[in-house]
Structure 1
Amino acid sequence: MTPAASASTRAATYDALVARARAGRLGPDPAALRIAVAFTTRQAVRHDGRGTGYRNEVLSLRLAEAVGSCAVEPGALPDSAVEDCVGADVARLLAHPLLPVRVAALDAYLMHVTPHTPDNGARPVRLPAGTSLQKSRARARAVAELLDLPRGATVLVVGVVNSLLETLRSRGLAYVPCDLKGGVTEWGETVATDASAEVGRCDALLVSGMTLGNGTFEPLREHALRHGKQLVMFAQTGSAVLPRFLGHGVSAVCAEPYPFFWLDGGPGTVHHYRADGPGGAW
């Protein structure tokens, strides 16, 4: 990415980024680009040795060589959404009434315009082949290493993944688990449901990209920016979207485009971005 292009792609808020994309200021006219394939991926998992499991559902859109994705709560996405997306131009989907469709369309567009390459600020991190639990733990380590905190610091974790909590525990970090679904962690800890009520007592934020699809990302970004806290995003949802906020509240991103680590037992790759790294603040 050239310096001139870098300056033109910065956006301080999610709405501003969408407006730039719709206006064709980030790349080709989105009205001239069509989604060839739309699909959902549904998964249920319980790793060996774990007492709890979880389900995933993700909407993905294929634009040329790029795939953009947005996770949703299982069963929340109407079947008609996939049909709405197939053959539609990106501009129309950026204005779709369903937020997950808009997020997936933006992710596909930005993945097409600025794929995860070193020229665009990405550093590839290899995940080894292994069982579902081994790969989950490897991904968790790749996410957690983007946090720069002393032992004893407290992290707000939005989007509970037990492997992430396990990794934070091993690093001597305290955490407040938060997820809209509530419940308990693998260790019997109560999961908070209101991140805004917990964020003030935490030193840093570790947040799922799924917050883009449920509309809770912006308040967390604004809090991190206002209070100078680290905000590390782990992103299957919006992996190409969230690096756009480096330097605008987001300090680092572990970007994981489709196919995700839980879909395959072979080796994989995630991509690290840092606000102070090459190409940091788009």
Structure 2
Amino acid sequence: MEQKIVTVGLDLAKNVFQVHAIAADGAVLFRRRLRRTEIIRFFTELPPCLVGMEACTSAHHWARELTANGHEVRLMPPAHVKPYVKRGKTDAADAEAICEAVTRPTMRFVAVKSVEQQAVLMLHKSRDLMVRQRTMLINALRGHLAEYGIVTGLGAGGVVASLKALHEEQDRFPAHTRSALHAIAAQLRALTSEIDRLEAQILDWHRNNETSRRLATIPGIGPITASAIAAAVPDASPFRSGRQFAAWLGLTPRANSSGGKERLGGITKQGDGYLRRLLVVGSTAVMRITRKNPARQP
């Protein structure tokens, strides 16, 4: 009697994928390499089964595609799969480890994101990239002006002062310096315009998403943070408490306890760094406001 495939481990790649399939008793039924163009046809012909993948690049896309073909797809953090690798780093070994890890009852899985949620997160990532690029341009502009004895302050006021100084004092700069500084200023204005455009789209999505609006009622959480959480965490049901969510984000202390003695270090920083940064900035703002005016304590 031919054994039925019940679990498949799929190691994702750019062009060549590795498949590892087992039966209900754990017997290996086949190991196979597939090209990208063969994936959909292969899983369409395969009877519905459990498919495990690491939550890496393109994982959510393939999870949606395979789910549409009737398979149960589970994504796992790569760090949780690594302990199941029995030998050296190869695609076949990774696929086997994924196949074994996905069947573990204590394994923690990553919720599959929808196309809309990924689109919102792309807005966030693009905005974050442009904000960092804008900071680099501001620092470059301030540094170049300082070479000519023009020192401006930090923050938004410092940016305005730098641009004002550039226009008022440009006659004292050599032609090449003026050209370089005006190029930086033009890029700075263009980036600011693009950041404003992305923020408007994020705000529009936030206004039309109930989860995001509810999150924004929490002190220290605005539309940017709320929409990022709503898009990055499709299903919050696995978190039984706020502390579990904080642990998932890497905001809880690292434990190094033994012999009945509890030792706690710094935070683990093992979760989503972008969400963690937004929440830390928001909580810091609430603490600063409360310290200045205790009557405004949330």
TM-score normalised per structure 1: 0.23
Greater relative contact order, per chain length (Cα 8 Å cut-off, separation 6+): 1
TM-score by length of 2: 0.22
